[in-house]
Amino acid sequence: MRLLPYLAAFLIAAPATAQTAPPAPVVPQPAQADPAFQTRLDGLIAILNGGGDYAGYFTPAFQAQVPQATLQAVTAQLIAGNGKPLKILSVAQETPWRANVRVQYEKAVANVLLVADPVAPHQVGGLLVRGFESAEKTLPAVESAFAALPGEVGYAIAKLGTDKPQLLAGRNADRPYAIGSAFKLVILAELVRVTNAREREWDDLVTLDGGMLPGGVYAQKPRGTQVTLRELATQMISISDNSATDILLHTLGRKKVEAMMPVLGIADPARNRPFLGTLDLFRLKGVAGLAGRYLALDEAGRRALLDGEVATIPPILIDVTSFTRKVPNRIDTLEWFESPSDLVRVMDWLRRHTEGPAGAEARRVLSVNPGVSPDVRAKWQWIGYKGGSEPGVMNMTLLLQAQNGDWYVVTGSWNDVQKAVDEGRFASLIGKAAELTAPPAR
């Protein structure tokens, strides 16, 4: 199971440490491609179509990290969602051996980072598909594309002001959806509340007690390690770290976080009580028979089960088969549920309560990962983002400040109980919606 931020990118490359190309320097003008790099550019479309000379095109380090069968599986997935790659539209050269390449697919445009080895035979050591620009040109076209997706899709585009949010466009905006890691915005909101009230400070230290944690940065840290609330919040939002999330939930208190849901304007907070941590959900979904027993109980019974039997289950006993095979697992009954309208109100609350110097830390946390491509990011003065996914679930929620100072939210959720959703296609549509929502700069 993945509960991750969507970074608008598919990594299909060896790690940077396996590349021999140096980091790109800052240059005053565009670099010129080496003729040997141009040869690699010429072969890119064939590679992205699942063909080409794999052995001759990639460095041995890349081939060790990404076998040919793996690369072909990834390119096939990209083609399934976006059609075949057709041609190179433009090349922005950073160094003679590194460039950002815009590739026209049948249904979208991909932004691709290509890095070649400056040492002969100048094979490619890095290939990063950073994201897709959807081909839709208008918001009605985006709406039609959302409607054509399998499963259930809801979205909302709203303008924020001094009164309640103004819905500009939407589909099933009041219907609750499973939202994956976007639930972490509620935990952040409670942290904003307590720091605004000076009940806690961003620099307050949390001492790890050595208790069981889900995967993440802090899962292997020794007992006694101290970490600030600021660092935990940053990790929770920017990279969706599950261990940071559960530490914060425990530190702030489950019931305190639950009490924030009606304050934020979540229409049906009871559906999310008890408010689950990530390891809670992994255990409930990954231990045979446990989810059924949990769902059959009332709220008091669920709390007792979580605090008792569930809390003692070691992570090693969790069966992750459904997660690794990308099979939706009870996403309609056991998840975190909010409607697009709920998420508009959550982001509006965060906007209102992070104004001025006191809100600088929270806004920094929200904006570390903007969630969209650099081209979309450039349309806005500021972007705060949180998303989430697991098999069959995808959410992206953006808080946006326009160049003229106005505020907007663009949020969408896609649930499919039958199969994993196409995250790249959904991200491209949300990114396009954000791009098209941006008002002209004055």
Residues in the chain: 442
Q: What is the pLDDT of residues 60-79, one digit of tens each?
A: 999 999 999 999 999 998 89
Q: What is the pLDDT of residues 110-122, one digit of tens each?
A: 889 999 999 999 9
Q: How far apart are CA 330 and CA 225, in angstroms?
A: 35
Note the Cα 353 to chain centre separation in Å: 23
Q: Name the one residue in this structure whose structure tokens are 């040869």.
A: 39
| 382 neighbors 376 (Cβ within 8 angstroms) | no
Q: What's 317's DSSP letter?
A: G
Within 8 A by CB and 6+ apart from 273, the residues are 258, 299
In 3D space, the residue among 17, 414, 362 whose CA is nearest the CA of residue 180 turns out to be 414
Q: How far apart are CA 207 and CA 223, in angstroms?
A: 8
Q: Name the one residue in this structure whose structure tokens are 């809100």.
A: 359
Q: Name the one residue in this structure whose structure tokens are 């990114």.
A: 431
- pTM, 2 dp: 0.81
Residue-level pLDDT, tens digit, the chain, 442 residues:
343 332 223 334 433 323 333 333 343 456 888 999 999 999 999 999 999 999 999 999 999 999 999 999 999 988 987 889 999 999 989 899 999 899 999 888 888 999 999 999 999 999 988 778 787 889 999 999 999 999 999 999 999 999 999 999 999 999 999 999 999 999 999 999 999 999 999 999 999 998 999 989 999 899 999 999 999 999 999 999 999 999 999 999 999 999 999 999 999 999 999 999 999 999 999 999 999 999 999 999 999 999 999 999 998 899 988 778 889 999 999 999 999 999 999 999 999 999 999 899 999 999 999 998 888 999 999 999 999 999 999 999 999 999 999 999 999 999 999 999 988 889 989 999 999 999 987 6
Number of H helices and E strands in the chain, helices first, is 18, 14
- Sort residue 132 into left (φ over 0), alpha (ψ -120 to 50) or beta: beta
| 85 neighbors 107 (Cβ within 8 angstroms) | no
What token pair was written down for 173?
């905006």
| 302 neighbors 274 (Cβ within 8 angstroms) | yes
In 3D space, the residue among 4, 418, 393 whose CA is nearest the CA of residue 184 turns out to be 4
Q: Name the one residue in this structure whose structure tokens are 């425990």.
A: 250
CA angle, corner 38, sides to 32 and 42, nearest 5?
A: 145
| 3 neighbors 240 (Cβ within 8 angstroms) | yes
Q: How far apart are CA 345 and CA 339, in angstroms?
A: 10
Q: What is the pLDDT of residues 393-426, one digit of tens each?
A: 999 999 999 999 999 999 999 999 999 998 888 9
| 247 neighbors 241 (Cβ within 8 angstroms) | no
- Strand ranges inside 97-237, DSSP E: 98-105, 108-116, 124-134, 152-160, 166-171, 177-178, 205-207, 226-228
Q: Name the one residue in this structure whose structure tokens are 């972007």.
A: 383
In 3D space, the residue among 373, 376, 409, 412 whose CA is nearest the CA of residue 394 turns out to be 412
pLDDT at 16: 31
What amino acid is encoded at 101 in this protein? V
| 206 neighbors 247 (Cβ within 8 angstroms) | yes
Q: How far apart are CA 393 and CA 414, in angstroms?
A: 6
CA angle, corner 411, sides to 85 and 194, nearest 5?
A: 135
CA angle, corner 214, sides to 210 and 220, nearest 5?
A: 45
Q: How far apart are CA 433 and CA 133, in angstroms?
A: 11
